[in-house]
Copies of this chain bind each other. A is one copy, B any other.
Amino acid sequence: MTENPSKSGSNSDSVNTAILMMNMGGPESEKVEDVHKFLLALFKDRDIIKMPFQDYLGPLISKRRAPNLKAKFDEIGGDPLRTWTERQGKGITEALDKKSPSTAPHKAYTCFRYSKPDIAHSVEQLEKDGAKRVILLSKYPQYSCSTTGSNLNDISRYCVEVKGHLDNNPPQRWSLIDRWPMSRAIVDTYANLIETELAKLPESIRAETILLFSAHSIPIWMVERGDDYTGEVGGTVQAVMNKLGRKNPYSLVWQSKVGPVAWQGPQIEKALEGYVNNGFKHFVVVPIAFVNEHIETLHELDIEYAKDLKEKLKFETFSRVPAANDHPIFLEGLADLIKEHIEKGETISAQMTRRCPGCTKPNCKRTREWLKRLDEINKDLAD
């Protein structure tokens, strides 16, 4: 780690610390060919999709789904992921320049899984910028093989195959923040967002309003393999409820199931139907695993449930808490998380020394070898 107090501030020319904002990405534009390209990359990823004849069926399904997904993006005015990621990166690095002057200047790089700018683009840029240190920051608060895991497998492929990290020490010091399900960044932000949303409701219904924490579901075969995600989402929900003083009834539910196989439930629409049958009418939905607006919040929650399902089931209140986006507590919290990571001198968390108990994937094995190597390099440097 190079001390660089004289160059603190993000306006400096040369970068000291690169923060790689890992996320899935989205179509590069709302054109149907870009939506198709994005879906093709997604359906090719065997880390998250398992189907027979994948090389044949993947392109077919992508082609069939593209116009429909394009229409949804049109309805919400385009995919907001890149804009939010860049805005968050700016907020975090500005805060970090103040909080951690010895590693400043910090600069954020967007590092998407299924679209540009991807890991190759990020590394080219940060090399040009002369960064001495790279911190991979997963933008998924809770770890899943289908999100952070897939991102990391893509990054390790690039770093091992293209950059030769296993054979030659990379010119930067690399480290990883793989999850933060109990961090103030996520817990305090959502507690604050929920309090703000509840305060908008008439006092007469506030106490009986049900908080529906909704997270993207994953297939049961992934849960059975030992994916950490569902347990960590449970952790975030419990920590938020504690912070709120448990003043409202709540449920943890799951959304966005696709395809015919079994997924983690209960699904949000079933839960809503059940609650309505039992006489409940007021809901505040909390997208607890989404840190920025997404098609799952803007279309699925705000259009399919808030409008279409509300009309069908006749519930009265369906208010949706915004995603963390650029909430000041969120950006400050992530900056603090990175600062603590730097101060601790940790390369990878203990959890990243193992794989899911049922994992047999060579990609995941390679990722662990690469992470172990980064850890060894950093330990050698520290000696």
Residues of chain A touching chain B, judged by Cβ–Cβ distance below 8 Å, are 181-182, 207-208, 210, 220, 223-226, 228, 230-239, 242, 246-253, 265-266, 270-272, 274-275, 277-278, 280, 349-351, 353-360
Contact assessment for B230 and A234 in the assembled complex, using a CB-CB cutoff below 8 Å: yes
27 A-B pairs with CB atoms under 8 Å apart are: A181-B238, A207-B350, A208-B353, A224-B270, A225-B274, A226-B266, A226-B271, A228-B251, A228-B252, A231-B233, A232-B234, A232-B238, A235-B235, A235-B238, A235-B239, A239-B239, A246-B349, A246-B350, A248-B350, A249-B350, A251-B357, A253-B357, A271-B357, A271-B358, A272-B357, A278-B355, A278-B359
Instruction: Give the chain B neighbours of A182 by CB distance below 8 A.
Output: 238-239, 242
Instruction: Give the chain B neighbours of A277 by CB distance below 8 A.
Output: 360
- Identify the 4 closest CB pairs spanning chains A and B, nearest first: A234-B234, A235-B238, A231-B234, A274-B357
Contact of A359 among B210, B223, B232, B274 (CB under 8 A): B274
Measured between alpha carbons, how far is A246 from B143 in the docked complex, in Å?
14
Measured between alpha carbons, how far is A358 from B253 in the docked complex, in Å?
12
Least CB distance, A184 to chain B, in whole angstroms: 11
Contact assessment for B249 and A231 in the assembled complex, using a CB-CB cutoff below 8 Å: no
Point out which of A207, A242, A251 has the most chain B C-beta atoms below 10 A from its C-beta. Answer: A251
Chain multiplicity (copies): 2
Contact flag A223-B349 (CB < 8 Å), given A234-B233, A274-B357, A354-B280: no
Residue of B nearest to A183 (CB): B242
Contact assessment for B208 and A358 in the assembled complex, using a CB-CB cutoff below 8 Å: no
Least CB distance, A320 to chain B, in whole angstroms: 18
Contact of A231 among B238, B271, B274 (CB under 8 A): B238
Residue of B nearest to A351 (CB): B249
Given A182-B239, A249-B353; 11 other pairs, CB 8 A cutoff: A182-B242, A225-B266, A226-B253, A226-B274, A231-B237, A232-B238, A266-B357, A270-B358, A274-B357, A274-B358, A275-B354
